[in-house]
């Protein structure tokens, strides 16, 4: 048991993502704002989990507001957040808004939801 704990700690320390985390505050402009349309997947995947949670919650509100939806499906939201982060880890050069579009399209297809043209 003790060796498993030591291995887990050593693996975490050796992991580049554990050492390379950057707070979202590093991306604010001189007025204190973040241009959410320019953030990359690398920035999302490389930030702290609580910052990633806050950012994906903001994007969710933005997209739901555009769709005039006023309800929150917590379960689907958590699934979508996980999928966006996984997509971003695999595609760090993409914009987060592009990742969200891919994930939402896949989720709609899985659920059989058809979009209006």
From the DSSP assignment, how many helices (H) and strands (E) are in the chain? 6, 0
Q: Extract the tokens encoding 23.
A: 């707070």
Domain holding 76: CATH number? 1.10.890
For residue 63, what are the domain limits?
A: 22-111
In terms of residues, how long is the chain? 117
Six token digits for residue 75: 């379960």
DSSP H or E run through 40: none
Q: How far apart are CA 82 and CA 93, in angstroms?
A: 18
pLDDT of 84: 93
Decide if 75 contacts 48 (C-beta within 8 A). Answer: no
Condensed to tens digits (0 to 9), the pLDDT of residues 41-86 reads 999 989 998 998 899 889 888 888 888 888 888 888 889 889 999 9
6: in domain = no
Q: How many domains does the chain have?
A: 1
- Do the domain assignments include residue 7? no
């Amino acid at each position: 048991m003790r060796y498993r704990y030591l291995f887990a700690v050593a693996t975490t320390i050796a992991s580049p993502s554990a050492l390379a985390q950057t707070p979202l505050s590093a991306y604010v402009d001189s007025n204190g704002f973040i241009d959410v349309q320019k953030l990359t997947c690398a920035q999302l995947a490389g930030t702290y989990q609580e910052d990633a949670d806050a950012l994906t919650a903001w994007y969710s509100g933005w997209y739901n507001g555009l769709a005039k939806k006023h309800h929150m499906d917590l379960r689907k939201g958590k699934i979508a957040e996980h999928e966006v982060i996984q997509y971003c880890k695999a595609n760090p050069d993409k914009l987060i808004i592009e990742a969200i579009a891919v994930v939402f399209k896949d989720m709609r297809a899985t659920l059989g939801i058809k979009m209006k043209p």
